[in-house]
Structure 1
Amino acid sequence: MYIRFLFQDLILTDYVHPRDHAVFSFSLSSHGQEMLGGHEPQLHPNYSFPKPFVSGQTTNDSNKAPKDADVDEENKKKKTRHIEIERQRRKEMNTLYASLRSLLPAQILKGKRAASDQLNVALDYINHIQRNIKKLEAERARLKKKGLDKMWYFLQPSSAVIDQMSYFLQFHSAAY
């Protein structure tokens, strides 16, 4: 692996990573040589550059600190709780869809439907029922009015009945 670095006046060329048996070669500008007293820089033979982090690179779990392990364990618990809560929500939604489906008339249910289709069918059915209720209430009010008019006609006492009641009331009030 060859990498080229530029540090101010120090140019490091042909850098090979230490695990690839690195060979280093340096060249300095005249200003850089003056700063080092005219000497060429040398690296300690056992020196190795830190490994750069590469995105997506996995780390060894055995090298993690105990705190990192605790954080990972907590994240796993959170994820497990989230999965369980989501599973419970889906189960409850399926139960509610089944309940809704059972309330709809069989003739409007045709085969297995998606949840959104069930909701659309239920909304259409509810609107249909509401329109029917309004029609039936109007019909009931009309019949009630018509029926009361007829009933009132039959409940009105005739003049003969009124005379008999007047006589009865006078007779009983005089006796007491």
Structure 2
Amino acid sequence: MVESQILFVMGVSGSGKSTIGQLLADKLNIPFFDGDSFHPEANVKKMSEGKPLNDDDRQGWLERLNEVALNNISTGAVIVCSALKEKYRTILGHNLEGQYKIIYLNGSFELINKRLNERKNHYMPKGLLQSQFDTLEVPTEALTISIDQTPSEIVTEITKKL
């Protein structure tokens, strides 16, 4: 892996982004940022009411995550966020030419729905999962990792492929 590389871990809600991102950052000894913690209050409120975010809702949030990436380019970082559309990933990678990688955590609707049914205390209602799959534009320029394995196995696969 390039020493100072930004790793964006993406996927739908429930794909394991936060868990995998934190484990990956720990293994690589670089900072970890959970994109959810950068949402403005209006976005969190909208999602908690079961309403999907639109592109306008996401614009400032994605720009903020790009700033986080640019501010951490010297050390590298793991940043997790859904990044469901290609244009979102373009915003995330702005001015990071060649210094970032997208890691796509890929799983079936059935597997992720099962995980969400077991999850507690998260503001993202399970009912929004279908809207996330409907919005998802599977990335072509990404390291695609199947989530049908343990978190430890996923992180090992990612580090081998980097």
**TM superposition score category, shorter chain reference:** under 0.3
Higher RCO (CA < 8 A, seq sep 6+): 2
Pick the structure with more strand per residue.
2
TM-score by length of 1: 0.16
